[in-house]
Amino acid sequence: MMSDDFEFASYHFNNIGKIMRYSLYYGNGRLLGNIGACILNNNKILCVIVKVVVILAMMLLIPKVINIKNRVLEYVIYLMILGTAPEIFGQIFVWTSGFQNYIPPIVFMFACMWICKGYSRKSSQLFCIGIMGFISQLYVEHCTVIHIMIVGLYLIYYIKEDDEKKKCSEVWLSNN
């Protein structure tokens, strides 16, 4: 546990309203990251479950987004994620507050990229992209810039390619 984890674990909120109020006035603008850190630092079982699900989602989405068909390359990607340098691993995967602020928005970004890649004119896909694009902005400040840059590249790529996929990117952009 790092200092933020100890701080969030020391508060025992009895309802979500108090957690939200505390997170809103914490001062760093990371509303969902702080809410998640408060909840996860006070419930270790939930913390382990959330970390496993989010890391697994990231590991499964990366090969789909970059279109890896070779199983060996897919395993190499998995090893690269799990074999992260100890200094980075400790700051991101072990530190619950850091994990909660940085990893979920990355997973949302990969999910948006995957949906845009396979977009098939379903309004549910656009709805998911809109929700994930908006929610990811409530974690960390730089996510807005990253999402806008990626969506901009998608729009440039899809200008000549496919108007439907361009629409998908536009919905993502509008929620940033």
The predicted pLDDT at position 49 comes to 95
Please, what is the Cα angle at 117 between 114 and 120, to 5 degrees? 110
- In the structure, what pLDDT confidence band is assigned to residue 107 with cuts at 50, 70 and 90? very high
The burial of 128, by beta-carbon neighbours within 10 Å (0-12 exposed, 13-18 middle, 19 or more buried), is given as: middle
Contacts of 4 (CB under 8 A, 6+ apart): 37, 95, 96, 97, 98
How many angstroms separate the Cα of 134 from the Cα of each of 118, 122, 162?
Answer: 20, 19, 24
Do 159 and 166 contact (CB within 8 A), yes or no? yes
Question: pTM score, two decimals?
Answer: 0.76
Ranking 55-69, 127-141, 154-168 by mean pLDDT, the lowest is 154-168
Q: What is the mean pLDDT of residues 111-127?
A: 78
Say how far apart CA 113 and CA 107 lie, in whole Å: 10
The predicted pLDDT at position 101 comes to 84
The predicted pLDDT at position 50 comes to 94
Quick check: helix, strand or coil at residue 141?
coil
